Structure 1
Amino acid sequence: MATVQLNAQDFEKTITDNNLVFVDFWATWCGPCRAFGPTFEAASEENPDIVFGKVDIDANQDLASAAGIQAVPTLMIAKQGQIIFKQAGALRAEDLDDLIAQAKALDVSAAAQDSAASAE
C-alpha cells in the first residue's frame, strides 16, 4: 500500500480507524526528510497491513504544532488509536523494519495495564 498524504481534516480519523499507523512528518526543504522518504515508501509497499501517512509540516502547520513536532523528519506510530512512539530523525531501512516488527508485536492493552500498575 502506498503512502497517503494526511492533513488536519483526516489525521485523527486515520489514527482512530486503523489498527496501526506510521506517520512521517516531513518538509520539502529538509534533506534528511528527502533521504528518508524512499525508505518510508518502500516499507509501506512491504507492509500493506499498516497505514503509512505523510504530513507536510509546511502545508499543515497547525497539525504539526498540535502533534508537538519540533524537528523533521519525525516518525510517529499509533496503534489502536494510541500514540506508542514518536522520534525525530531519519531511520535506516533495517531500523525502520525493526520498529515495524516491535509495533506489530506490541500489546497496547497489556502495556497500558503495566504502566497503570507501575504508577500505583
Structure 2
Amino acid sequence: ALSHYYLGLSRQALGHLDKAKEEYQWVSTNGDPRLRALAAQGLTRMSGARSSGSASSSSSSVASSGAPSSAAQSGGKVKRILKFTADWCGPCKKFAPIFEATKSKYRDVSFEILDIDQESTKPIQAKYNFETIPRLVFLDGGGNVLYNGGAAASQEDFEIMINRFH
C-alpha cells in the first residue's frame, strides 16, 4: 500500500492526475488507516486542483517526511517554524536561501534558525528528538508540534508544507 501511495504522490506531482487518483483510490481501500487518511487527503487536494484548473496547485508535499500530529489534524495553525542547522552542513546550506526567501511570504509566522553547535540550543534539540539536519519543526500558537521532519527540496515544496498548516 505504501508503494501505491508514493506512486500516487509522484503521479500527482507530475500532473498525471488520473493515474494518481487510481493509486490513491487503491490505497483508500487497501491501506492501513494512516495511509487511507493520507490517500483521502491526496484525493481531496486533487479535486480542488481540478476545480481550479491548475495543475501546479496539485503538487503534494512529497518532501515532508514527518507525519502531521493530532494538533495538525484538528486544524492547528503554524505560528513558529524552527530550522535546526549547522555551518558545516551541506544540505543546510542548500536549504538556507529557500528558508530566507519564504520568510517574507508568511508575516504571521515566526521563522527561527537554531544552530545545533550552540550550547544554548541543546535543550530545545532534546525536546524535538532528531538526528538529522536540516530539521524543521512547525509549532502552533500553543506550542504543539504540527510537523517535525526534514526540509523541502525547493521553495515551492516548502510553501506547500507551510500551507498544509497555515
TM range (shorter): 0.5 to 0.7
Aligned: 1:28 with 2:87: yes
Q: Provide Cα deviations, 1:55-75, integer angstroms capped at 9, x if missing partner.
A: 101102332123212110001
Provide the rounded CA distance (Å) in 2 between the counterparts of 1:57 and 1:89: 15
CA contact (8 A) 1:74 1:90 kept: no
> What TM-score comes out, normalization by structure 2 length?
0.49
Match of 1:103 in 2: 165
Gaps of 5+ in 2: 1-77
Correspondence list, 1:44-59, <5 A: 44-59=103-118
Q: Shift of the alpha carbon at 1:89?
A: 4.0
Q: Shift of the alpha carbon at 1:24?
A: 0.5
1 or 2, which has the higher strand percentage?
1
Q: Shift of the alpha carbon at 1:35?
A: 0.7
Aligned: 1:91 with 2:161: no
Provide the rounded CA distance (Å) in 1 between the counterparts of 2:157 and 2:85: 18
CA contact (8 A) 1:74 1:87 kept: yes
Letter in 1 for 2:108: D
Structure having greater relative contact order (Cα 8 Å, sep ≥ 6): 1
| Cα RMSD (Å) | 1.8
Q: Shift of the alpha carbon at 1:90?
A: 4.4
Q: Secondary structure at the match of 1:20?
A: strand
Larger Rg: 2
Match of 2:36 in 1: none
Q: Provide Cα deviations, 1:70-119, integer angstroms capped at 9, x if missing partner.
A: 11000110012210101124431111110111111xxxxxxxxxxxxxxx
Provide the rounded CA distance (Å) in 2 between the counterparts of 1:66 and 1:27: 18
Name which of structure 1's ranges 87-96 and 74-83 shifts more when overlaid on structure 2. 87-96
Structure 1 runs (4+) deviating above 4 angstroms are none
97, 100, 103: which one aligns with 1:41: 100
Aligned: 1:68 with 2:129: yes
Provide the rounded CA distance (Å) in 2 between the counterparts of 1:91 and 1:43: 13
1 or 2, which has the higher helix percentage?
2
Q: Shift of the alpha carbon at 1:45?
A: 1.4
CA contact (8 A) 2:128 2:148 kept: no
